[in-house]
Structures are given as C-alpha cells and as structure tokens.
Amino acid sequence: MHVVTVDQLPVDGLGSVSVPFLGQSVCAGFPSPADDFLEEALGLPRWLVPNPPAAFLWRVAGWSVVGAGIHDGDIVVVDRSVEPKQDDIVLAIIDGAASLKRYRLDGNRAVLAFDNPELPAAAIEDISEAAIWGVVTVTLRLNRPLVRLRR
C-alpha cells in the first residue's frame, strides 16, 4: 500500500486580510467576459500576503504568460513592495494598458517578455511608455465556478 503524507501549513493564528481588486483585468492576450463578475476584494490568508498595504488583486485575461502557469481567468496577487528580479512575472503598464510580462535582464537593459513562445519580447526602452506596478506573488485559480450568493 502506498502512503501519502500531507504536511500542514502553519496558518493558525495568522488570520486573514482583505485584498482589493485594483482593476478589471490585466491583458495577457484577449479581454475576459469574466470581468463582469469581479468582487471588490477577497479575504486571503495572511501568510499569502505578507505586506497587505502594498498588495492588490487583478484578474488575468488571455494567455501571454501561460508558460508561467498563469491562465486566462486566474486572479493574481500583485505586491508593489517587491523589487522585480530575473524571471519574475510583473504587472506592467505598457503604453497605458496593463499586461503581465516575464521580467528579464539582458546585460544592462530590462526586457519585458511574454511567457509564451509564440509571442515576441520587447525591451523596455523600445516601448514609448512603460512602468512596472508590482511583482506577481500568488496565482489563484478556480477549478470550478462558484455559485454567487445574493446579499
């Protein structure tokens, strides 16, 4: 008989925090019809969000970072207090539009790359206007739609 052990996460006493949605959806390809069903905030375990004042949620629309395991419809936790490092997924505002990208350093220049081999990379200096809003620290995915309760 094969025995599987599951380690418990030490979450007792840490509580939860309310993390707000900052925007409708982040482009990772195409717009999502799920945007119509966004909540204002989600309660998450405190251990998932170490710096709540710097964190926000954003719903993913599209497949540009599917290589990172982030899919259309996922919700990401973005932390503005985390400095991006090589290969982090970041939320960038590029020419006024929010987009998830893989952050890479190529020599002394930063590159914002899709994590989908079918899409091209773009150097930050090749973009007319770009700003990194934060680093994606957690990805949330519903495997089955939730039933919405009326208030």
Report the largest interatomic distance among the alpha carbons of the chain, rounded to a whole angstrom. 61
Establish whether 64 is a catalytic residue: yes
Q: Which of 25, 32, 64, 99 is catalytic?
A: 64
Cβ atoms of 50 and 14 within 8 Å: the answer is: no
The runs of H, that is alpha helices, within 15-83 are none
Is residue 101 part of the annotated active site? The answer reads: yes
Instruction: Please state, in angstroms and rounded to a whole number, the distance separating the CA atoms of residues 63 and 56.
Output: 21
d(CA 14, CA 47): 7
How far is 63 from 72, CA to CA, in rounded Å? Answer: 6
Q: Which residues are catalytic?
A: 64, 101
